[in-house]
Every structure is written in structure tokens, then in C-alpha cells.
């Protein structure tokens, strides 16, 4: 019984810490100028580590960039971050990325991600619906090292390609996760 109580108290402590971290992150939200700058810098970092991302950017109709996502979990988990929609070199809108997860997981990490929107329909979908639920809407391919080696401008078939980069921290486990990208005002 003591072990069950200890596990429950640990879970509650992590849940409170995660909620506090998310609240603190929202309270200290970057200004629009900071977010614009951080997003452009994050893209440059991505281009240096994954040259194929730079190739995709040349043909992309828009790029959603989330320079800093914070993720934590112990059985239940979540992540939060804010980003921009770039069309060409212009920031046209602001979005947040929120996810929740449940399963065998423990840890905390930060990372960035960028979604390259390759069609006008993908951009229109995001603008019309004021966001995106991953798994609903445009077809998104997550690009890892294996996929990146085979991408060329003639082999592009999906509406969007996502890159995860600048991962720091440790998150381990197997879980079910859902992500929602929503329009925010700045």
C-alpha cells in the first residue's frame, strides 16, 4: 500500500510540475519579435543539420516553425510551444503546438520542429481551420535521416514534411499522443 501511495504522490508531483511549467511558459511567452527571430534562427539551425530541409524550403508554399517545444511526462505527459507561419520570408501568423500523451513514459525534453507545407491547399487548410490536428487534414511525412536521403524535388508527393531538431533532454517510453496546432493572436 505504501508503494502505491508513493507512486501516486510522485505522479501528482510530476503532474503539478508539468502544469506549472506550462503555465510559466505561457506567462513568459515571447514577444512577437522574439518569436519571429527565434523561428528564423531555428530554421537556419535546421538547414545546417539537414540540407534537404533547405531544398524543401525553396518549393514550400509555407513553413510552420516551432523553435522551442517543452515536453514532460510520467505516465501522463504534455508539451507546449509557440511558433510562426512563414510565407517566403514573411511571418504571416502565429500558432501554438499543444500535445497530450498517456502511456509508459518518463522524462523531459525540449526540441524544435518545422512543417514544410508544399501545396497551396495545405496552407489554405491551416489558415481556414485556424490550425491543424496532426493526423487530420493534409498528409504529413515526418522526415528522419533515412527519408531525408531519398527526398528530391521530383519525389515530393505529400502535402507537408515535418522535421524535428535540436532535441535536448531525455524522454523514454511508449505512449499514445495527440498534437493540436492552433492559431494564436500576437
The answer to whether the CB of 54 falls within 8 A of the CB of 47 is: yes
Residue closest to 30 by CA, chosen among 62, 67, 63? 67
Residue closest to 183 by CA, chosen among 94, 115, 123, 87? 94
Q: Which residues pair with 165 in a beta bridge?
A: 112
Pairing of strands 62-87, 140-142: unpaired
Q: What is the mean pLDDT of each run of 10 residues along the chain (186 residues)?
A: 54 47 50 95 95 91 96 94 94 94 92 93 86 57 53 60 90 82 87
Q: Delimit the domains of the chain by residue range.
A: 2-184
Q: Say what the pLDDT of residue 156 is.
A: 56
Backbone angles phi, psi at 102, to 5 degrees: -145, 135
pTM to 2 decimal places: 0.76
Amino acid at each position: 500500500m505504501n508503494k502505491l501511495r508513493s507512486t501516486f504522490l510522485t505522479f501528482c508531483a510530476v503532474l503539478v510540475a508539468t502544469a506549472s511549467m506550462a503555465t510559466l511558459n505561457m506567462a513568459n511567452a515571447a514577444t512577437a519579435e522574439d518569436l519571429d527571430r527565434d523561428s528564423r534562427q531555428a530554421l537556419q539551425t535546421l538547414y545546417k543539420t539537414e540540407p534537404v530541409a533547405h531544398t524543401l524550403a525553396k518549393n514550400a508554399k509555407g513553413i510552420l516553425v516551432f523553435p522551442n517545444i517543452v515536453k514532460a511526462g510520467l505516465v501522463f505527459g504534455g508539451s507546449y510551444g509557440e511558433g510562426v507561419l512563414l510565407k517566403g520570408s514573411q511571418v504571416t501568423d502565429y500558432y501554438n503546438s499543444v500535445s497530450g500523451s498517456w502511456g509508459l513514459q518518463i522524462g523531459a525534453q525540449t526540441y524544435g520542429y518545422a512543417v514544410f507545407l508544399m501545396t497551396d491547399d495545405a496552407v489554405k487548410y491551416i489558415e481556414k481551420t485556424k490550425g491543424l490536428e496532426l493526423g487530420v487534414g493534409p498528409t504529413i511525412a515526418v522526415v528522419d535521416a533515412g527519408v531525408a536521403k531519398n527526398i528530391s524535388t521530383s519525389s515530393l508527393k505529400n502535402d507537408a514534411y515535418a522535421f524535428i531538431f535540436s532535441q535536448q533532454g531525455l524522454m523514454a517510453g511508449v505512449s499514445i499522443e495527440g498534437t493540436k496546432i492552433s492559431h494564436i493572436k500576437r
